[in-house]
Structure 1
Amino acid sequence: MGQGDIAYFGIRHHGPGSADSLAQALQDLQPVAVLIEGPSDASALLPLLARPEMQPPVALLCYPEEDPASTSFWPFAEFSPEYQAVLWAVDNKAALRFIDLPSSARFSEAAVEGAEKVDADEAKESSERDDVAPHRRDPIGTLARAAGYE
């Protein structure tokens, strides 16, 4: 794999088939860097997964001290493609990083979204008919909101 070449892999989280395919692809391509979905501020913790005393299943757990209920976690099992990628990168001395926003952004987003949802819900309640359930009036909109879309 050349210095400027980039290979992307769509993976199924915790999929044994994806883990095997990814491990083989990494071995074939020999990349100089492995980038994994996860909070960038936790990148320094990734090599710990390859230590002999770290036995999966394990998880990275992040939460704001003031709101532990907002915990986010990133699990790693023996059959997780992400775990296999970490092992390969450490064994082959490839650069290893998480590439998502830092965990603090996730918590900030949740607070903003929560406040926006309360405002939107209050406005919606004042304009809706009380005798028709929201999921009956707008089932697609209800699903979209549940998935985080406006």
Structure 2
Amino acid sequence: MMLDHTTVRAAAADHRRFSSEPQVLRPILPRPSLAALEMDPPRHGDWRALCDQAVTPHVVDVLEPMVRADVDKHLDEVMPGGRADLVADLANAVPAETICRLVGIDDDLVPEVRDRAIAMFAARGNPVPFRGNLCAFAECGVPSS
């Protein structure tokens, strides 16, 4: 069976048959939903409206030089080896760094938050490490006592 854009778009819009709740990651773990990602309408709409207010064309214009600098930095890191894994070296890191900046995380904390987020999602499907990584992610930037 071949899926075209129209079919995939229709499925994505059909939250009754293709729900994102309670979780999109498997196995289902005893944890809170990931905001917006694991919500169907109408709850998803509230989050989407909030994001739409935060991600305006002006914000995109402001973030673009930072995103380009992050891409350049990551490419510079892999260039000496002559090879790159686009997912590991760019697709995981750059969006995570951009989201950190979008929500106002201090630049000095961005690498730690990014690495903990990537580790959390890398452990999906394995409850024990996922839970530990989720807790570590939630504690990013929290001063130790």
Question: TM-score, structure 2 length as denominator?
Answer: 0.27
Greater helix share, 1 or 2? Answer: 2
Question: TM-score, structure 1 length as denominator?
Answer: 0.26
Q: Which has the higher contact order (CA 8 A, sep 6+)?
A: 1
Greater strand share, 1 or 2? Answer: 1
